[in-house]
Structure 1
Amino acid sequence: MPDPAQHLSAESTIGDWLDHPTGRTVLIDVLARRSPDARALYAIRMLPLSTLVTLSNGVVTPEFLDLMAEAANRLVDQPSIQPATAHLFPSAPPPAPNDWKEPLVDGRFDGKTVVVTGAGSGIGRATALRVAREGGHVLAVDLSTLRMEALLERNPDLHITGVVADISSQSDVNAIAVQARGRVDGLAVVSGIADDMVALHEVEDDLWESVFRINVDGPFRLSRALIPLMLSRGSGSIVNVASQAGLRGSIAGAAYTASKHAVIGLTRSAAFIYSPRGIRVNAVIPRPTRWALESNYGSLGGAGPLPSLSLTSPDTESAQIASPLTYLLSDDAANVTGAILPADEGWGIA
């Protein structure tokens, strides 16, 4: 532990900043609040703070780091004696990347059948595995035969039924409904594609139609087919994966942005209409994940650049988003409907 009276600089290691009482406060409460993934700092603690200039591609400037050092050193020389700010010290360092453990709830989905689309990778796969590990029967849907085979081969002890299908195709949707065998308790629509940040005047018809076919027609067709099964039981839960692009215009191109606005509208409309009949409909807004960026099928959560450096593994990132998603699917969220729940580590607040 550094001497509390030690002065810090941009060349002090990130570890020195995290271990220092006032340096930690400045680093976490000032710098980390500009980025939703403060945990990445913990994994690069041996590097000098000045490394952040390069890692942030210039977003963090040397001048800003000098101001941070000045603030940390001023707090050393002139410690706060104001009761109103005394609670800020000390500030604990963030947990290291990948320290998060998936909090499984044993038996939460016992006896339930949940359909999960985009189940071959990323958030969809993490959701399917979480539901199955908590006792549910998962009807896992993905466009890729290879990804579906991998999911089933690697998890032979879980109750997962695989269906290779395109949810934008009505005939494929009909096949999914048949596989449900008359019972669906939950539906997680995770499938989605991006649009490469294409501006409105450059959008070709094929791009527009393909984005809407997967991102809007798919959730619409599949929900339309499965809601009657939920109505017959008087209960059910639907969770759509939306995006910050459904709330603002700075995350993706015209087609993706419009499609995710449509998903949120579809979610809210269905929540209003079906709430009195026992069906809850919500949406999750994830942060972008590296799994999603590697696949055309799996929620992209926005086609723009990642909001911050993240050293968390792709599987952990996906599982962290699957956690609130499965909460909304479960009876734990019995009174929650029409919610548009951010799971983006505060990215959307900025």
Structure 2
Amino acid sequence: GIGAALCRRFAAHGAAVVVNDLDAEAARSVADEIGGLAAPGDAATEDGVAELVGAANERHGRIDMFCANAGIGESGGPEAAESAWERSWEINVMAHVRAARAVLPQWLERGQGRFLSTVSAAGLLTMLGSAPYSVSKHAALGFAEWLAITYADRGVTVQALCPQGVRTNLLDDTGETGKLLLGDSAIEPEQVADEVLAALGDDRFLILPHPEVAGYYALRAAEPGKWQGGMRKLQRGLP
């Protein structure tokens, strides 16, 4: 999905890429394709992050950019299982916290580093039918913003990638609701990667592959009642 597209784009522009995925075969396939290093494992856990960062440092001596891209989408509301809420928090939020914990010391010492947090437009807005996803993505955005404010003056650039629908397995897993809400405007992972590359040139905090999200976000802040009314209308049209 987005991760593989980013790997290909970065490698094509001369970056030395370390590829991580829970699926070891998938990580090795992309790494072999781009001449990178496969470091499979669970990037949501403290040990998994330590192994990934250690592998990158051992091979290349430093990390210039970390892409916190892992994510899951659990459906449901308050009735969703405790395990669904826990997985969402661990993967969509704590994976970012643990990654930052691992890379910040070297970046602060060097006075340079870049953290790309794959959030979602759901972190700026919401995702109907999926409270665990919406809540955890808001938290991921909040953490990215906190990092940006806290460390910008020490040389660390933080960016939050917030697309709407992207044609990946994650979108497929949302079923009929996701297709109705996001299918028509969904874009390819390669388009997201292109937008990220463009954003690296100006260090913008919010990377919005779907530009219309900026208008939705502004409306949500300025007129929450009007925005929620529009979302309720969408909710009424869902199966």
TM-score (norm 2): 0.80
Tell me: CA distance 1:311–1:207, structure 2 relative to 1, closer, same or farther (3 Å). closer
Conservation of the 8 A alpha-carbon contact between 2:20 and 2:41: yes
Measured after TM superposition, the shift of residue 348 of structure 1 is 6.1
Tell me: CA distance 1:294–1:341, structure 2 relative to 1, closer, same or farther (3 Å). closer
Structure with the largest fraction of helix: 2
Conservation of the 8 A alpha-carbon contact between 2:70 and 2:91: yes
Measured after TM superposition, the shift of residue 245 of structure 1 is 1.4
Tell me: CA distance 1:248–1:347, structure 2 relative to 1, closer, same or farther (3 Å). closer
Tell me: CA distance 1:311–1:212, structure 2 relative to 1, closer, same or farther (3 Å). closer
Of residues 51, 63, 71 in structure 2, which corresponds to 1:184?
63
Letter matched to residue 162 of structure 1: A
Larger Rg: 1
Q: Which residue of 1 aligns with 2:13?
A: 134
Establish whether residue 124 from structure 1 lines up as the match of residue 31 from structure 2. no
User: Residues of 1 paired with 2:145 and 2:186: CA distance?
Assistant: 34
Identity %: 28
Measured after TM superposition, the shift of residue 326 of structure 1 is 3.0
Measured after TM superposition, the shift of residue 345 of structure 1 is 4.9
Q: CA RMSD in A?
A: 2.3
Conservation of the 8 A alpha-carbon contact between 2:127 and 2:133: no
Tell me: CA distance 1:152–1:295, structure 2 relative to 1, closer, same or farther (3 Å). farther
Tell me: CA distance 1:224–1:131, structure 2 relative to 1, closer, same or farther (3 Å). same
Establish whether residue 172 from structure 1 lines up as the match of residue 48 from structure 2. yes
What's the secondary structure of 2:147's corresponding residue? helix
Give the gaps of 5 or more residues in structure 1: 1-121
What's the secondary structure of 1:125's corresponding residue? helix
User: Residues of 2 paired with 1:273 and 1:325: CA distance?
Assistant: 22
Conservation of the 8 A alpha-carbon contact between 1:240 and 1:282: yes
Q: Which residue of 2 aligns with 1:62?
A: none
Establish whether residue 325 from structure 1 lines up as the match of residue 201 from structure 2. no
Conservation of the 8 A alpha-carbon contact between 1:168 and 1:221: yes
TM-score (norm 1): 0.56
User: Residues of 2 paired with 1:257 and 1:186: CA distance?
Assistant: 26
Of residues 131, 145, 148 in structure 1, which corresponds to 2:27?
148
Q: Which residue of 2 aligns with 1:307?
A: 182
Q: Which residue of 1 aligns with 2:113?
A: 236
Conservation of the 8 A alpha-carbon contact between 1:236 and 1:279: yes
> Which shows bigger deviation, 250-259 or 186-195?
250-259
Of residues 208, 217, 224 in structure 1, which corresponds to 2:94?
217
**For residues 185-244 of structure 1, what are the alpha-carbon distances to aligned partners after superposition, in whole Å with 9 as ceiling and x for unaligned?**
111111100012x012x1211110011110001111011101112222211111111112
Conservation of the 8 A alpha-carbon contact between 2:20 and 2:39: yes
User: Residues of 2 paired with 1:237 and 1:309: CA distance?
Assistant: 32
The alignment of Structure 1 onto Structure 2 pairs a total of residues equal to 210
Q: Which residue of 1 aligns with 2:235?
A: none
Give the gaps of 5 or more residues in structure 2: 217-239
Q: Which runs of 4+ in 1 moved over 4 A?
A: none
Letter matched to residue 4 of structure 2: R
Measured after TM superposition, the shift of residue 290 of structure 1 is 2.2
Establish whether residue 199 from structure 1 lines up as the match of residue 74 from structure 2. no
